[in-house]
Amino acid sequence: MTEAVRPRIKLNKTIVEQGYKYCRQRVRKQFRDQIWVTSNLPVDKKRALETLMWHLIQCLDLLDLTSPTHLPLDVWSDVRSDVSDAFLDQCTREELAALVDSFRKFNVPKQYLFDMLDGADSWIRNQQMDTYDDLKMFAYRLGGAPMVAAVPILGFIEPEYESSAIRCGQAVFLTQLLANCVNNMKKYKHFLAVEDCDDCEIVPDRLRLRQGGQPWIDLVRLYSARIEELFYDGGQLINYLDFDGARTIKSILGLHWKMLMNMKDDPDCALSEFGVLSKRELFGLKSRHLMGTEGNVPVVPKRTGLH
């Protein structure tokens, strides 16, 4: 039986612009409480970042799938092939045309898109992270890789940024996983390392009911210490970025550092259905960004003349 050929779009400027529009709509819907971190960037950089974030959303959506045979699913293979073909100007959707356009414009290596897809595949096939090292690799693929890919778009002034960008992305991703642990468990997605949960005597059914106790406190403090170390290493990324890029990353760091410190000080806040940040805290972070006073947290190094 001949495999069906997926339809291709005839590329032109109109199609690419439609792709940028669709990416923007999807990203603003998904990250509506955080999109302000890019408000200081020029339009072309914001648009390019939106295509990258659209791809990340596609990968995160794949995490809802399961492979009973522990082999890659056809839908994952189709998405991977679509991304590969798009860089040969054989696009199956408008968003991919915009993604390729932005990666070419800012000279972003496409390998990071495939690293992100590999992160989704690892979860689809295994449905758990046995050790913290497994989880860190997962965090690289869905946190570190997109952060490294974002740097050429944000603008860098020093080339040796990859290591700091990876740790920055891992810290952000793991903070989000910890903050959303209960919501994910209610969907029977247990992203934190099995080894760590067993050591802390976590009972998933209790967490699904938003009941923590000492095991939950122990787990949150274990992960807070690990993520805090990643934040201090990842904060050095600021030193490699230009003025506008540094401002955006400082706000991302400030936002997630506040989330982590709230959980460290009060682990039960991560059990709340209202999230770990209050509306007032979110408003304060956004206001500081708009005023150009973002990033006043210990993990952000001081840069002479940045402001």
Please report, rounded to a whole number, the percentage of residues in the chain having pLDDT higher than 70.
96
* Residue 136 amino acid letter: K
> Tell me, what's the pLDDT at 2?
40
Domains and CATH numbers, the chain: 10-126 (no CATH), 128-300 (1.10.600.10)
The overall average pLDDT reported for the chain is: 92
Distance CA 230, CA 143 (A): 12
Q: Of 169, 134, 174, whose CA–CA distance to 148 is shortest?
A: 169
Distance CA 28, CA 170 (A): 22
In sign, the C-alpha dihedral spanning 36, 189, 208, 173 is negative
Q: Going residue by residue through the chain (307 aa), what tens digit of pLDDT does each one get?
A: 345 567 788 888 999 999 999 999 999 999 988 999 999 999 999 999 999 999 999 999 999 988 778 777 889 999 999 999 999 999 999 999 999 999 999 999 999 999 999 999 999 999 999 999 999 999 999 999 999 999 999 999 989 999 999 999 999 999 999 999 999 988 888 899 999 999 999 998 898 899 989 999 999 999 999 999 999 999 999 999 999 999 999 999 999 999 999 999 999 999 998 899 999 999 999 999 999 888 788 888 876 444 4
Structure tokens at 12: 């032109």
| Greatest alpha-carbon span in the chain | 65
Chain CA centroid to CA 251, Å: 14
> Is residue 38 within a helix (H) or strand (E), and if so which, with residue range?
none
Q: Of 253, 267, 259, whose CA–CA distance to 295 is shortest?
A: 253
> pLDDT per residue over 253-302, tens digit each?
999 999 999 999 999 999 998 899 999 999 999 999 999 888 788 888 87
Q: Of 202, 63, 193, whose CA–CA distance to 128 is shortest?
A: 193
